Amino acid sequence: MSSITQPIGGHEHAHDDHAHHPTGIMRWVTTTNHKDIGTLYLWFSFTMFIVGGCMAFVIRAELFEPGLQIVTPEFFNEMTTLHGLIMIFGALMPGAVGFANWMIPMQIGAPDMAFARMNNWSFWLLPPAALMLLISLFVPGGAAGGGWTLYPPLTIEQGMGMDLTIFAIHIMGASSIMGSINIITTILNLRAPGMTLMKMPLFCWTWLITAYLLIAVMPVLAGAVTMLLTDRHFGTSFFNAAGGGDPILFQHVFWFFGHPEVYIIILPAFGIISEIIPTFSRKPLFGYASMVYAVAAIAILSFMVWAHHMFTTGLPTAGILFYMYATMLIAVPTGVKVFNWLATMWKGSISLEAPMMFALGFLFLFVIGGFTGLVLGIVPLDVALHDTYYVVAHFHYVMVAGTLFAFFGGVYYWLPKWTGHMYDESLAKWHFWLSFILFNVTFFPMHFLGLAGMPRRVPDYPQQFADWNMVSSIGAFGFGLSQLVFLYAVIKCIRGGKPAPAKPWDGATSLEWTLPSPAPYHSFETPPVVR
């Protein structure tokens, strides 16, 4: 067990006692070190974020004014499809796994992840899968153009790009399942002595529950796209009405995966926010146990609400009512979390460094996204707003202002621990304000467009929608370009800067749990000294 006492900042292989350490590119290809793999995930995630963002640029450039000016309608549909798939499977999910790889072993006092080689393998499945998605743009017939939800019958008729998309989803799903098995095993088996489950940092709890969700729903998505594949090539009729199949069945199977998937993306973000807010409020997290139970409740309820995506498909009234009420119910544990974050800040000694600013931005904007979700959960309103830009506004407030803002906050929060250097605070604040303002310029007008009846996934639109689309497009280009400030701030921090002190934020929180040791001096029961 000599590996337990290794230096926390080094890149020694926890499961390798040999003197041979690969260098250069082979170090990254063969590494089994959780920190290296976390770094790979985070850089891959950011790369995919930029690629998906460029596709969003194409979409918003086309929608800058009415008429078809830049791309064909077919290519526009391919862009919307790939933008969604790349942002979800290429940017947000790997980003969350990157945080998990870096922080979970350090927070629970484990020497490394439980399955170090599988950890390496689960990352290196992702680049080929992402490449497959991008190659699908260049094959005969072009990429899949049925939206990221891949609804038949549209996707049964499409060309070879659809097959590449299906295989890419399979590979990314396999990667997610392996990562989840690794996280669950690490958390359940490798905690330091004295660290009970109810003393773990909340980030570990959110990922433990997320990992179970992933193992439950990824095979469902795999089943859905496999049935799609056999409908396309092997003469089956799962979703083909001409052969006695039912295209609505695909929607049920897909959304049984798709709704828990939303929480798979947001729960790790909740965990990051639950680390940041206590630190910068100089107080322990309010209601730790209720936060854990709320995360579990959200996870369980997420399996019971999938058909709220399908209110316009002709479901029976009793079914519609059930899904409407279940959707309302999921707001309760989410509200518990928001209340606890606010209560943590109440009468705290708050300081507004960049991580806290992103956490506050997250809180404000995620709540807006949550309210619009409740609006869409009410059946008569959803019938009017379904497949309009109101839906686009809603899920971007949850995914971008939710998950992405939490990730930005998490990067700034842990960069001193990861690099040994402090980042440039003024650059980080510029990044926050540009992102916060331009995000709202981009997505808030979409509520108005949706309420006025503009459908989503259309490359052209009537003149009445022109003004808000122009505002939205200008915001989108600004928001995308402002992420270069983030890239510069991170690279500048990695290359050097003011050395980070042992407790960069001077807050007694779970941040300081690194290696196996006696329980920390506050262990959630005694409040830390407010300096």
- pLDDT band, very low/low/confident/very high, at 523 (cuts 50, 70, 90): very low
185 neighbors 115 (Cβ within 8 angstroms): yes
- pLDDT band, very low/low/confident/very high, at 160 (cuts 50, 70, 90): very high
366-413 pLDDT tens trace = 999 999 999 999 999 999 999 999 999 999 999 999 999 999 999 999
Cβ neighbours of 373 (radius 10 Å) = 20
Of the listed ranges 5-14, 200-209, 304-313, the least confidently predicted one is: 5-14
Of the two residues 503 and 126, the one the predictor is more confident about is 126
437-453 pLDDT tens trace = 999 999 999 999 999 99
Closest CA to 177 of 132, 216, 127: 216
**How far apart are alpha carbons 189 and 364 in whole angstroms?**
37
165 neighbors 136 (Cβ within 8 angstroms): yes
Contacts of 309 (CB under 8 A, 6+ apart): 251, 255, 258, 259
Q: Is the pLDDT of residue 522 over 80?
A: no
Q: Is the pLDDT of residue 518 over 50?
A: no
pLDDT value of position 525: 40
Backbone angle region of 500, left / alpha / beta, with phi > 0 → left and psi within -120 to 50 → alpha: beta
Q: How many CA atoms lie within 13 A of 458 on its CB side?
A: 17
User: Residue range 354-367: average pLDDT?
Assistant: 97
What is the phi/psi pair of residue 455, to 5°?
-75, 155
- pLDDT band, very low/low/confident/very high, at 524 (cuts 50, 70, 90): very low
pLDDT value of position 6: 41
Write down the mean pLDDT value for the chain.
Answer: 91
Of the two residues 286 and 507, the one the predictor is more confident about is 286
**How far apart are alpha carbons 273 and 290 in whole angstroms?**
15
**How far apart are alpha carbons 16 and 33 in whole angstroms?**
10
User: Residue range 228-242: average pLDDT?
Assistant: 94
Q: Is the pLDDT of residue 92 over 50?
A: yes
Closest CA to 406 of 449, 361, 454: 361
Domains of the chain, earliest start first: 38-514 (1.20.210.10)
272 neighbors 99 (Cβ within 8 angstroms): yes
Cβ neighbours of 421 (radius 10 Å) = 18
pLDDT value of position 214: 97
**How far apart are alpha carbons 357 and 345 in whole angstroms?**
13
Closest CA to 397 of 450, 356, 361: 361
307 neighbors 255 (Cβ within 8 angstroms): yes
pLDDT value of position 503: 81
237 neighbors 244 (Cβ within 8 angstroms): yes
pLDDT value of position 504: 85
Q: Is the pLDDT of residue 246 over 50?
A: yes
Closest CA to 470 of 62, 88, 23, 16: 62
pLDDT-above-90 percentage for the chain: 86
pLDDT value of position 139: 94
Cβ density class 343-364: b for 16+ within 10 Å, e for less = bbbeebeeeebbbbbbbbbbbe
497 neighbors 92 (Cβ within 8 angstroms): no
192 neighbors 517 (Cβ within 8 angstroms): yes
Closest CA to 116 of 264, 265, 5, 12: 12
Of the listed ranges 250-259, 347-356, 408-417, 517-526, the least confidently predicted one is: 517-526
101 neighbors 145 (Cβ within 8 angstroms): no
Q: Which residues are catalytic?
A: 83, 112, 148, 175-176, 259, 261, 263, 274, 308-309, 334, 337, 456
Q: Is the pLDDT of residue 3 over 60?
A: no
7-65 pLDDT tens trace = 444 444 444 444 567 888 999 999 999 999 999 999 999 999 999 999 999 999 999 99
Q: Is the pLDDT of residue 269 over 60?
A: yes
pLDDT value of position 513: 38
pLDDT value of position 74: 94
